Amino acid sequence: MENQLAKSTEERTFQYQDALPSLPVPSLEESLKKYLESVKPFANEEEYKKTEEIVQKFQYGVGEKLHQKLLERAKGKRNWLEEWWLNVAYLDVRIPSQLNVNFAGSACHIEHYWPPKEGTQLERGSLSLWHNLNYWQLLRKEKVPVEKVGNTPLDMNQFRMLFSTCKVPGITRDSVISYFRTESEGRSPNHIAVLCRGRVFVFDVIHEGCLITPPEILRQLTYIHKKCYSEPDGFGIAALTSEERTRWAKAREYLIHLDSENLTMLEKLQSSILVYSIEGGSPFATPEDYSQVATMLLTGDPTVRWGDKSYNLISFSNGLFGCNCDHAPYDAMVAVNISYYVDEKIIENEGRWKGSEKVRDIPLPEELVFTVDEKILNDITQAKAQFLKQSSDLQIVACFFTSFGKKLTKKKNLHPDTFIQLALQLAYYRLHGRPGCCYETAMTRHFYHGRTETVRSCTIEAVRWCQSMQDPSTSDLTVTF
């Protein structure tokens, strides 16, 4: 990634999309063989024999017919799985998204120029936003480098969903709307939304044809911060996005019916480049322990993040940052890419702004004040209560292992991923005396609109290794598979 982001390239971000191969349909025989291999570590002899019989019956019965239907579907679609995956894994899910579907992660700026420090939230926030918006401009110009494995380009479609994208709740199924356009495709929204103490503000980031500067962004954030901390809190409309999906969909419909201007304001939020959250908390964090900040990124104030937004950039009062993102439109490696870019720029500029301090006469942020009634206020109260209840049942530990890293495992001819997966299996085996059913993400971005697949890392060989590790009579040299 470092080399790809550092070098300039004439390649356009999305230029290989049409040339990517279609997602293949694996053979039925291969799929069933892998299924049996994944079952074997967890079944006794009798259970495994019974499973084999069921698989065989399926293979030569309804499985054959279903497989033919898959092959037929694949003839008319470049990615036969895409629509099903999006719907079943994300859009049909009715449980609250914010805690159960969204992903979150802390920025690692604390490891260099931005350690926790009160009073830095707004100044650092203006710089972080500016670097994020520069990345947005690179993406619009298709200058974000194409990610590759060797010389093979990967699908970049998910990057389209990073900005100006939002999930919209539905009674039985949600939908995803993306307003993002590259420069060659036409106009794209150029405003961001800022949430602070239950209130919502928007402002344009392009003025007189160019991106506003960090001092100008700071002026906007300072205006919002002073206003919110000297006046009563807002209604906290954003908390509704943390609700059970059907309840949120009904509340949204009611909100729109209450006043048509509410729809206009919802669309401004949905289409914004990103949501910037001004949190009041000061989570503890060190380069060795991100547990508390990671927890607050997922469980912080639900009135200052829009749970359906593809990108919530969250700031805390002690100058820490992170993101909370809806998982439906893209996977976490997209967020890792922009986070890495921003971190590199902060390091490159020593955590400071080195340009002009001049602030042009740009319009002040606009506040979006929704029309509400007693029912909506009750819905917000209920949403906050259920979010708080669910949040209290979440435990996150995010500590860094610093004794050694991938250089040592590679030196021992052991792939870092193999090392981690076996370590997970051994830890589980030592705790519970049995193998752990483990999911590991694999990516399918070699193919058109590919996203992820499942790796079942608990194998018979892994179980035998765990057993050997627990056997005192086994020496280092006799551990075999």
Query: Catalytic amino acids?
Result: 327
Instruction: For residue 144, report the phi and psi dihedrals to the nearest 5 degrees.
Output: -75, 125
Quick one: 59 exposed, middle or buried, by C-beta within 10 A (0-12, 13-18, 19+)? middle
- Measured between alpha carbons, how far is 155 from 439 in angstroms, rounded to an integer? 23
- Measured between alpha carbons, how far is 239 from 244 in angstroms, rounded to an integer? 11
Instruction: For residue 325, report the phi and psi dihedrals to the nearest 5 degrees.
Output: -130, 140
- Measured between alpha carbons, how far is 100 from 209 in angstroms, rounded to an integer? 40
Alpha-carbon distances, residue 309 vs 151, 176, 292, 319 (angstroms)? 33, 10, 23, 22
Quick one: 68 exposed, middle or buried, by C-beta within 10 A (0-12, 13-18, 19+)? exposed
Residue 239 contacts residue 303 (beta carbons within 8 Å) = yes
Number of H helices, E strands in the chain: 16, 15
Instruction: Provide the pairing of β-strand 199-204 with 452-456.
Output: unpaired
Instruction: For residue 80, report the phi and psi dihedrals to the nearest 5 degrees.
Output: -70, -20
- The residues, ordered by sequence, that sit 6+ positions from 339 with a Cβ below 8 Å of its Cβ are 105, 107, 108, 323
